Amino acid sequence: MSTRTGLDRRTLLRGMLGGAGVAMGLPVLEAMLNDHGTALASGPALPDRFGVWFWGNGVKPDRWIPETTGFDYTLSEELAPLAPVKPWLSVITGTQVRTATHPHHSGMTGILTGHQYHQLGVVRDTIATTFARQSIDQLVADMWQGQAPFRSIEVGITRWRGSDEGSTFQHVSHNGPNDPNPSEYSARTLWTRLFGGSENAEVDFARRSVLDAVRGDIGDLSRRLGAKDRQRLDRHLTSVRELEVRLEGGLGQCEAGKPAEDVVDDTQEPIEEKNQLMSELLALALACDLTRVFTVQFSAAGAQLVVWQVGATDSLHYTSHTESSPQPLVHAATVFTMAQLNTFLTQLRDTPEGDGNLLDRCSILCTSDLCDGLLHSNTEYPVLIAGGGNGRLRPGQHVRLPGANASDAVLTAVEGAGSGLTTFGEGAGYADTPISDLLA
């Protein structure tokens, strides 16, 4: 028995994921498109998608910034791994995060919220911060509420190595202070969440009945609490409703073959394999239109990962503070990171949709928590926008804007995504002028 509705996009394309054991959902059948392959025959345009691809600890700016600008620019050493997706790439250099006071924490919140962070506790022997505002992915998710079964999906790639410096150091996506959307690091668990929902109508009925009762409990408890705790329970309630809606509407529109299996990861971290697996799964979720908003936390703020693949024996963070200039290992780790970004972007490029591919429909903000880890600098911020934005972006160029507000770049990404947002950030981080050269 199936409770699924909207089976119009349900089909299977097995084998695209190689050895990963995941079958690929083919999103839109040719028969369902109009004659030009630009929209569904039934009318609506192919879906817009917005994402954030985040890595920690920045770049080496002198080897990151391309020498020339415009469409004819040559990729820099650190951007070279992205050559296969260069036509989909907008490279923005020279901007600065203007709200940043201290690196990592404030760079992270500055670029993702256009705002200062929120420090927890005046009396302290540890430092802890959280986001003061919603992160940009959630601002877009608000605009697109209800368009896909999952409001947003968050995934993490490299191991999170622990910190008690607060949610800023642990999570990219935030709904507000201490209200993060945790990244899923397990491919198996993500697969189950996306595709493994019950198909048994009786069980789904029971699940909905339970959630209905839980909603009642949340309401009763909420009456007894102060304003702040009521807000926390409001989030709980919102989460319950999201699951209820998914259960009402059916859990998905694709089938996805066998569950994904996690890569064994107990000593030297198999970063490439983990990234490949998660990139495939996320592309599948997008292709199946399970979500239109996503974040990828390749590495957390501060980048505690060890990129042993390039010969590093210490964490990237430590290396960035100890290696002698010109810091060849830090540079190599940045190149490696961009190669991982390329894996994801080429996966999207190679997933056909309509007359083009998934990457054509996306606008993906790719950025970090600072510019240069050695200096903790917040000028020359590394920002890329990947994707065609469903025709709204003019990718394939390098735009250099010395001293400009990094929030302008973020606003460009969300306008390019077709989010409907026209401003971003507050105070020094406020932006209402997207980078016009990058918009069609």
Q: Which of 48, 78, 154, 289 binds another protein (CB under 8 A)?
A: 154
With respect to another protein, which residue has the nearer C-beta, 11 or 222?
A: 222
**Binding of another protein by 60 (CB under 8 A):** no
Of the candidates 416, 287, 256, 414, the one whose C-alpha atom is nearest the C-alpha of residue 354 is 287
Going by C-beta distance under 8 Å and a sequence separation of 6 or more, which residues neighbour residue 42?
32
Q: Provide the residue type at 187 as one letter.
A: A
In 241-348, which ranges are E strands? 293-297
Phi, psi angle pair for 22, to nearest 5°: -115, 135
Q: Which of 203, 310, 339, 439 binds another protein (CB under 8 A)?
A: 203
**Binding of another protein by 323 (CB under 8 A):** yes
Q: Which of 306, 338, 348, 411 binds another protein (CB under 8 A)?
A: 306
**Cα–Cα distance measured from residue 41 to residue 24, given in angstroms and rounded to the nearest whole number:** 23
**Contacts of another protein in 87-126 (CB under 8 A):** 99, 101-106, 115-116, 118-126
Q: How far is the CB of 134 from another protein (least distance, A)?
A: 12
**Cα–Cα distance measured from residue 361 to residue 393, given in angstroms and rounded to the nearest whole number:** 10
With respect to another protein, which residue has the nearer C-beta, 181 or 419?
A: 181
Q: How far is CA 293 from the centre of its chain?
A: 7
- Region binding another protein by CB under 8 A among candidate stretches 17-25, 42-50, 62-70, 201-209: 201-209
**Contacts of another protein in 421-440 (CB under 8 A):** 426-429
With respect to another protein, which residue has the nearer C-beta, 212 or 350?
A: 212
With respect to another protein, which residue has the nearer C-beta, 80 or 218?
A: 218
Note whether 370 and 57 are within 8 A (CB): yes
Of the candidates 93, 115, 118, 131, the one whose C-alpha atom is nearest the C-alpha of residue 379 is 93
Going by C-beta distance under 8 Å and a sequence separation of 6 or more, which residues neighbour residue 226?
none
**Contacts of another protein in 240-269 (CB under 8 A):** 240, 242-243, 266-269
**Binding of another protein by 75 (CB under 8 A):** no
Return the sign of the alpha-carbon dihedral for residues 216, 218, 223, 224: positive
Q: What is the dihedral of CA 233, 239, 240, 243, to 10 degrees?
A: 180
Tokens standing for 383? 């920002």
Judged by DSSP in three states, 305 sits in: coil
**Contacts of another protein in 354-393 (CB under 8 A):** 374-377
Q: How far is the CB of 102 from another protein (least distance, A)?
A: 4
**Binding of another protein by 189 (CB under 8 A):** yes
Which CA distances in Å does 125 have to 120, 164, 165? 11, 11, 11
- Region binding another protein by CB under 8 A among candidate stretches 7-15, 182-190, 330-338, 342-350: 182-190
Q: Which of 66, 180, 250, 416 binds another protein (CB under 8 A)?
A: 180
- Region binding another protein by CB under 8 A among candidate stretches 29-37, 315-323, 346-354, 393-401: 315-323
Q: Which of 3, 76, 170, 337 binds another protein (CB under 8 A)?
A: 170
With respect to another protein, which residue has the nearer C-beta, 156 or 354?
A: 156
**Contacts of another protein in 3-32 (CB under 8 A):** none
**Binding of another protein by 220 (CB under 8 A):** yes
With respect to another protein, which residue has the nearer C-beta, 11 or 198?
A: 198
Q: What is the DSSP letter of 68?
A: S
Phi, psi angle pair for 383, to nearest 5°: -135, 130
